[in-house]
Homo-oligomer: A and B are copies of this chain.
């Protein structure tokens, strides 16, 4: 059965703050995408964006402290996806999200770091940051283009 319209399916994951656990989030995402019959290219893109958010939460948020957790929540209602990725760190100022993505012609284009937020913003429809219950939360919305299949 596809997602019942109106109600959201909610899934959550929590990992220690080490890059080694990124694969667990990724494997789960691939499985969710298959189960909900997301189109392959959209699944690829969405997972790239989420992995960026989780990578940042691990590195910048929790500074690789394994005792600090990164949490990922997905709410899927039909074609609408909302991811919430949270960490225990200080977060960043929201004006960082307003900077334009460097164009291939600009000198910064070949920078080796600093691409994560641009990737998330370019793939997802909306990105918001907020503080909630002592955690820093990055919220990512995406409306899937392709009609969602039956999943079975």
Residues of A within 8 A of B (CB): 1, 4, 7, 9-16, 20-21, 23-24, 26-28, 30-32, 34-35, 66-67, 69, 151-152
- Contact partner of A31 (CB less than 8 A), chosen from B9, B27, B34, is B27
**Contact in complex: A16, B10 (CB < 8 Å):** yes
By a CB distance below 8 angstroms, the chain B residues around A7 are 66-67
Number of copies: 2
By a CB distance below 8 angstroms, the chain B residues around A20 are 1, 35, 151-152
Cα–Cα, bound, A26→B27 (Å): 9
By a CB distance below 8 angstroms, the chain B residues around A13 are 11-14, 28
**Contact in complex: B12, A66 (CB < 8 Å):** no
Cα–Cα, bound, A73→B16 (Å): 12
Cα–Cα, bound, A151→B24 (Å): 13
**Contact in complex: B151, A10 (CB < 8 Å):** no
**Contact in complex: A15, B24 (CB < 8 Å):** no
CB closest chain-B residue, reference A151: B20
By a CB distance below 8 angstroms, the chain B residues around A4 are 66
Question: What are 5 A-B contacts defined by CB distance under 8 Å?
Answer: A11-B15, A12-B12, A13-B28, A21-B35, A23-B31
**Contact in complex: A9, B16 (CB < 8 Å):** yes
CB closest chain-B residue, reference A12: B14
**Contact in complex: B35, A24 (CB < 8 Å):** yes
Separation in Å of the A62 CB from the closest CB of chain B? Answer: 13
CB closest chain-B residue, reference A71: B12
